[in-house]
Amino acid sequence: MNTADRLDLLTRYTEEVVTEDELEELLDGEPTAYIGYAPTGEMHIGHFTTIRKLADFQRAGVDVTVLIADLHAHLDSEKSPWDLLDARSEYYEESIRAMLDSAGGDPESIDFVRGMDFQLDEEYTMEMYRMAAETTVSRAQRAGSEVVRESESPNLGGLIYSLMQNLDVKALDADIAYGGIDQRGIYMLGREILPDHGGEAPVCLFAPLLSGLSGGKMSASDATSKINLTDDPEQVEEKIDGAYCPQGEVEDNGVLEYVRFLIFPILEEREETFVVERPEEYGGDLAFEDYDDLEATYVEGELHPQDLKNAAAGYVDEAIAPIRERLTDRPELLADAYPENYE
RNA sequence: CCGCCCUUAGCUCAGACUGGUAGAGCAGUCGACUGUAGAUCGACUUGCCCCCCGUUCAAAUCGGGGAGGGCGGACCA
């Protein structure tokens, strides 16, 4: 595979690349990439979009490390209780493996690492203290503002959070820091300070964040705004049917975003088209080769939201089915990780 | 170590002075209207009133103790 093709694989479906020139330069060598997940709330369909890219990394010959950031999960306002970190880490790892598997990646050749396995090392800790001494409170706050829980009385942990995440890049020896666009603030701080702490400014790749189904951002705490990996077909249909989906409008349209960032990448891989089954009275079935085609038709008003929803629900369900199966096969994973939800 | 303030619905808070078995807004649920959702209109739901003890016929409310959170002071040889 030539450099242009690899670059294309790496950057497709991304929100931003910092910077594309630096990324291209990296491809002369054998770059490595990393992404971190803090095992907090239950994983949902939004995670799927970031995980799919891991498959792209692999196709492009970039080694991937997945960090299960257990310490971070507690550091951010104790989102995960200390006693549940192990159980949630295990659940996250299994879910990520399942998602990657169904996205056409190879979980076996991914390096899974737990945060606490190296974040307590003396060298790491020492460097963290030095960063803490050099970073102002407001700078740290700004860096993590999109990631760390906001509050009138923020915890110290939320400030250390960003420093550590950047040290992770160095500790894991990653050339590419990958994550959702919400991680931007943290890594921009990292590009600034990591070189002063024995590391290198990482090249950053950011995935888009999907809108929630109720309009606005997807919220982990709003059940109706997101599809869970374990939702059954009826729940998927209900949630999508109830989604905010203004006719002809693209902005804040979660359904359209699901179709674009979740479904079409899968169809593209399989070289299939997006089929909308539609009653004769509304014009009969439709098939779309690519997303732009579908969006154009939608904007023109030739594709009704209800028909779009019906089709999308079917595809979304198909996408999560294999993951749902693996998780329901091992019910103890979720039960141990979220005892209050699964008794 | 000392002082002051806060803790009531999923969220933001009112009610406390003057005890009588709890309210508003937002959120949520359900209808109406749209071939979806939203908006709009109509209806509805939601509570260990932080915990314990006491006073009282009766405590969210008064008294005592405790827990959690916030703010300030003191200490700075």
Query: Is A200 strand, coil or helix?
Result: coil
Query: Percent of chain A having pLDDT more than 70?
Result: 97
For residue A35, give the amino acid letter.
Answer: I
| CA A85 to C1' B64, whole Å | 41
pLDDT tens digits, A285-296? 999 999 999 999
Q: Can you tell me the distance from the alpha carbon of A220 to that of A217, in angstroms, rounded to the nearest whole number?
A: 10
Q: For residue A241, give the nucleotide whose C1' atom is nearest its CA.
A: B36
Q: How many CB atoms lie within 10 A of CB A222?
A: 13
Q: What is the reported pLDDT for A211? A: 80
| CA A224 to C1' B27, whole Å | 12
pLDDT-derived band at A88, boundaries 50, 70, 90: very high
Q: Can you tell me the distance from the alpha carbon of A320 to that of A231, in angstroms, rounded to the nearest whole number?
A: 8
Query: Percent of chain A having pLDDT more than 90?
Result: 77
| CA A238 to C1' B33, whole Å | 21
Q: For residue A302, give the nucleotide whose C1' atom is nearest its CA.
A: B35
Q: For residue A244, give the nucleotide whose C1' atom is nearest its CA.
A: B37
Name the segment(s) of chain A with CATH classification 1.10.240.10. 223-337
**Is A200 within 8 Å of A174 (Cβ atoms)?**
no
| CA A228 to C1' B41, whole Å | 33
Tokens of A47: 């995670």
Q: What is the DSSP letter of A263?
A: I
Radius of gyration of chain A (CA): 21
Q: What is the reported pLDDT for A343? A: 63
Would you tell me the crossing angle of helices A184-193 and A157-171 to the nearest 10 degrees? Answer: 60
| CA A84 to C1' B48, whole Å | 26
Task: Calculate ∠ Cα A100-A102-A107, nearest 5°.
Answer: 35
pLDDT tens digits, A93-148? 999 999 999 888 999 999 999 999 999 999 999 999 999 999 998 899 999 988 99
Q: What is the DSSP letter of A135?
A: S
Q: For residue A309, give the nucleotide whose C1' atom is nearest its CA.
A: B36
Q: What is the reported pLDDT for A214? A: 77
Kindly report the bases of strand B lying within 7 A of a protein C-beta atom: 28-29, 35-38, 69-71
pLDDT tens digits, A176-218? 999 999 999 999 999 999 999 999 999 999 999 888 887 666 6
| CA A333 to C1' B28, whole Å | 30
| CA A326 to C1' B25, whole Å | 44
pLDDT tens digits, A22-69? 999 999 999 999 999 999 988 999 899 899 999 999 999 999 999 999
| Superfamily per CATH, domain A3-207 | HUPs (3.40.50.620)
Enumerate residues near strand B (beta carbon within 7 A): A 153, 214-215, 224, 241-247, 278-279, 282, 304-307, 309
Q: Can you tell me the distance from the alpha carbon of A176 to that of A7, in angstroms, rounded to the nearest whole number?
A: 13
| CATH class of the A223-337 domain in this structure | mainly alpha
